[in-house]
């Protein structure tokens, strides 16, 4: 048995709920999410846009506007209660304990300061070092993430760098203060295919080298398989299936997971063959149905699915699915 399995998880999330107010009715973006991330583990959150992936990730850094956000449940990171932190505690926590790689670094990086100055500032905010020492650290970070001509790039402004270089700079900034947890919010979405692969490989190498825990948000199943040890599939603010990457690819049991896998392009497709689509649309998060949120799009749904919230069924150690019809999905779980 792996020793890491007996140590407390770095992230311990239980029944987390996130609702946004200000409209006609609260929008229940996250509804009762429970997730654990062990030290040195990469967990991917996948699902359609609006499924709650990024909201969950941003809650782990408390980035939502407090006045319009209602939070519930438990969220512990490195033994600290994140939901109970005050602003000063959050300022110390962000960057040092947990940091984020944002989807679009051009928007996340400050356009009026050089990239190097922003990394130096982050290091000096959390550690008592001189500007020269922080600059030397920034240079080593640029070398570690394989940015060519690192000294010159440190003096560049964000708009002077290519998309791939900006994303590498964003990764360097996220690693500047040696965090234990790295949160990656669709870090390859805006990049072309070749650069995407390079960034994914880099993240995997950094995770192994530094022993980081990573929560990786993506709608791209291929990207999740490239970096993740475990995958959690989200739909309408809930985790509907969770397991190892191998289990979810070879034995998916929730109808939504099966539909996602069948809707992706794969090597066995003939030229001109149409992609399989998922019929219907996700539900309105301000008016969630009493039963399974996927029932109206599911070909296996029965009356009970529409009236009661399905419990998590343990299919194998660590492999769970929230579905009343796992008996039926077991026969059709092999992706086309």
CA 107 centroid distance within chain? 19
CA distance 315 to 321: 7
**pLDDT recorded at residue 188:** 85
**In this model, does residue 265 exceed pLDDT 70?**
no
Query: Taking all residues of the chain, what is their mean pLDDT, rounded to a whole number?
Result: 90
pTM greater than 0.85: yes
CA distance 62 to 69: 10
CA distance 75 to 35: 9
CA distance 79 to 50: 29
Closest to 331 (Cα-Cα) out of 260, 261, 253: 253
CA distance 269 to 276: 11
**pLDDT recorded at residue 70:** 96
**In this model, does residue 2 exceed pLDDT 70?**
no
Say whether domain 3-97+179-332 belongs to CATH 3.40.50.300.
Answer: yes
- pLDDT tens digit string along 208-241? 999 999 999 998 888 888 889 999 999 999 999 9
- Which of helix, strand or coil describes residue 207? helix
- pLDDT tens digit string along 105-149? 888 899 999 999 999 999 999 999 999 999 999 999 999 999 999
- pLDDT tens digit string along 153-208? 999 999 999 989 999 999 999 999 999 999 999 988 778 888 888 989 999 999 99
Alpha-carbon Rg for the chain in angstroms: 21
**pLDDT recorded at residue 80:** 96
**Total Cβ atoms within 10 A of residue 309:** 16
Residue 154: both structure tokens together: 């440190």
Q: To 10 degrees, the CA torsion angle through 220, 241, 27, 216?
A: -40
How do 181-185 and 98-101 pair as beta strands? parallel
What are residue 20's DSSP bridge partners?
27, 69
- The helix (run of H) or strand (run of E) holding residue 303 is helix 303-307
**In this model, does residue 335 exceed pLDDT 50?**
no
Contact residues for 283 (Cβ-Cβ < 8 A; gap 6+): 236, 289, 293, 296
**Of 12-26, 189-203, 262-276, 302-316, minimum mean pLDDT range:** 262-276
Write down the H helix ranges in 127-237: 131-144, 150-154, 163-175, 193-210, 221-227
């Amino acid at each position: 048995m792996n020793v890491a399995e007996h140590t407390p998880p770095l992230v311990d999330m239980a029944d987390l709920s996130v609702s946004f107010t200000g409209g006609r009715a609260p929008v229940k973006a996250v509804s009762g999410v429970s997730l654990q991330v062990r030290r040195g583990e990469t967990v991917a959150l996948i699902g359609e846009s609006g499924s709650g992936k990024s909201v969950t990730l941003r809650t782990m850094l408390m980035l939502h506007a407090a006045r319009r956000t209602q939070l519930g449940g438990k969220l512990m990171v490195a033994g600290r209660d994140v939901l109970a932190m005050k602003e000063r505690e959050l300022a110390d926590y962000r960057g040092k304990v947990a940091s984020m790689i944002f989807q679009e670094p051009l928007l996340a990086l400050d356009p009026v300061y050089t990239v190097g100055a922003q990394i130096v500032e982050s290091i000096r905010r959390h550690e008592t070092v001189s500007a020269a020492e922080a600059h030397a650290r920034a240079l080593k970070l640029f070398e570690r993430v394989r940015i060519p001509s690192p000294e010159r790039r440190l003096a560049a402004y964000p708009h002077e760098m290519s998309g791939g270089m900006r994303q590498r700079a964003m990764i360097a900034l996220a690693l500047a203060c040696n965090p234990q947890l790295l949160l990656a919010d669709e870090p390859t979405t805006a990049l072309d295919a070749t650069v995407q692969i390079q960034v994914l490989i880099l993240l995997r190498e950094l995770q192994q080298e530094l022993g980081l825990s990573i929560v990786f948000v993506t709608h791209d199943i291929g990207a999740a398989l490239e970096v993740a040890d475990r995958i959690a599939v989200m739909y309408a603010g809930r985790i509907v299936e969770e397991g190892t990457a191998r289990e979810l690819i070879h034995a998916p049991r929730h109808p939504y997971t099966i539909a996602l896998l069948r809707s992706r392009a794969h090597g066995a497709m003939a030229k001109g063959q149409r992609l399989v689509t998922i019929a219907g649309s996700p539900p309105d998060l301000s008016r969630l149905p009493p039963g399974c949120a996927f029932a109206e799009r599911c070909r296996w749904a029965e009356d009970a699915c529409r009236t009661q919230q399905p419990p998590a069924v343990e299919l194998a150690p660590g492999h769970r699915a929230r579905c009343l019809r796992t008996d039926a999905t077991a026969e059709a779980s092999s992706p086309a």
